[in-house]
Structure 1
Amino acid sequence: MSDQFSEVTSRSWFSRIGGAFSGILFGFLLVLLSVGGLFWNEGRAVNTARALTEGAGSVVTIDPAAPSSNAGQLVHFTGPLIIQGAPSDPLFSGLGVPTNANRLVRHVEMYQWQEKSQSETRKKLGGGEETVTTYSYSRGWASRPVDSASFKQPAGHANPPMPVEGNSFPAQSGKVGQITIPGNRISGLGAETPLAPSEKDLDAIAGALNDGRAVRIASGAIYVGANPASPRIGDVKISFETSSAGVISAVGTIDGGTLGSFTASNGVKIGMIEEGDKPAAAMFEAAQSANTALTWGLRVAGLIAMLIGFRMIFAIVGVIGDVVPFIGDVFRFATGLAAMALTAVLGTVTIGIAWIWYRPLLGWSIIAIGAVLAVIFLGLGKRRARSNRGEAARPATP
């Protein structure tokens, strides 16, 4: 059976018009959601920045060996991380996980059929469309189960169920001095290091899978299947990694000897844990920078969503013009420019209104500066226009 085939589908002009009307509704919804998202993002950015500024001014660096007198305060401390209860994999018990590991990661890949599709759409005179979609099938390793039942051509490309999937497991907890830190808060610290499998691990994995297949060590991973050099559909590779951290720095509040998040006066929670010996000022500065980066990232995402929404609203114009394909392309170019202009205007206005709402002093100051500049430029323009009229009216010297 061929591992590639093509399918041709057609849509009439009336069908495309109906789809464009649906697109208008979704477009308006997307524009509204993007406006709300942009407004919310400005508020989130301001509140986070204010909370971090408040925290930077009130944080106290303490000795983690004697934290009891600072209960309820925003504190900063540094020290070596001691793991309490190393991570373990409930499916494959008995792995030789280092006692100082704060996380165990199970990586699983299965050899599977995978589908790729490529489409080419041609416009037809009268507004219809013809789409040629080519589906191709190949075998390869994938870390997620691929649902072959959803393939366009499932016959001959069946994938078995994945016997086990990847996962990560944190340590139970960690301690710095007398301060306990929950395991999920330290699981992201440290670089991942491969955990070399042993013959003992083979027995544990073979017993857990219990499917009768051969289990061996190949290229630093546990291979489930007949021949690693010639994999078959359904063969599995399992590997493990651990991460560990030495000295860490943390900011938060101590409640009952356990590190928690501090709540600022505006309700924003502050809690930071980083690897290494970091002073409080550097941690708050990094958090402010991360907040700024997130703010700009969400602004860009909101503006892109708004642009897509406007393009969906205007898409019907291009479909109408596709009665003559060249005219449809011209209409799409024009409506694309209009969508960009509307996005620039509405996006800027939304962010400006949010600034006035959340930062009235700064927002109104920017508006005032803009108004003054507008008056100055208008005045200069009028003065130059009067000067030009005066020169034009002056009689020429004989």
Structure 2
Amino acid sequence: MKPATRRIRKQLQQQRRAARAPRDWRSSPWPWRAAGAVLVLVALLLSWRVESSALRYQQGLRNVAGAGASLVNLGQNAQPSKHLQGDLVRVVGTPQVIEAPRDPDFNQSSSALLLRREVAMFQWQQVNVGYPIYELEWVHGRVDSAAFSRPAGHVNPALPIASMDFPAPRVRLHGFILDAALVDLVPGHDSHPVDAAALPSNLAATFSDYEGDLYSGNPQQPRLGDVRLRWSTVPTQEITVLARVDDGRLTPASAAGVQLGDRSLGDLLPQLPPRPYGLWFGRVVGWLLAALGVALLLRALRRGLDPLLALAAGGALMLLLPAVLWMTFDVWLGLGLLAALLLTLGVAIWRWRGGKIALRRAQQ
């Protein structure tokens, strides 16, 4: 080969290398496709996690409330409503005693939620120390002496007076009337000295007041069968009530309960799944991730940046799983989410077609 020909071929090869564009990963669609697909997948997984936890919690609330009812968290803004009939509600507040409790047998009363009469009798009690011994003591209620190892000579008489609770007949908690069975569940204990002056005349002749208690005999030298009566009260204080609404009343239910202070649903219902937090934050983050993923996929198709198309398509993706999941729990909510899905999908299709028309015009 002649030197001139060799030189010409070498020059042509150099020109081809110079004309060849350098390889740039940004010009390839595959990195954009991969990144967009990963972001969309992460957004869908986040949507599944958020919606499944929210759905699990709502199903737990429905199971507690019962068929056809809801569990409504009224808190401290509790007022009766016909829409709450039959629902299980959480109410927080300090109850107000409208009608005071009263012990009619001994004419004792109080302004508290509940008046409790406790009756003890001075009676025989068996103590086992390897062998049975018998002692006379003040014991609440009656000890069954027939169960003693040696009942002879240690027979306890019948208890003449029974212990009893007297809840306030009418108690209001915000706008609701609190059922007496719920008043019985309120914890608390305050001593309540007997009002000896209020005793009926026949009982005043039988019982005597000693250190706030009522005794049927000599309190300093009690004898077998003597009775001691002691009253206590449950004071008014802030409580949290979980009860069912029945014509403006809070009534007991299978899951009903009363606790002191401002208690959460988790405290009242430990069987509930943990309450999910940050649901809307997770939904917004998932939407933005899905929109960014769609934008990267559009970049791979060389369609340019269309924020509205990316947001609409990302929103449609993020509404897909919620519409399916919530349809099984609440049909109307599921239909609402489906309508929102179709709306965002329609916006995305409109922007997609508009972009294609603009691209054709630009090419012409």
TM-score (norm 2): 0.50
Question: TM-score under structure 1 normalisation?
Answer: 0.46
Q: Which has the higher contact order (CA 8 A, sep 6+)?
A: 1
Larger Rg: 2
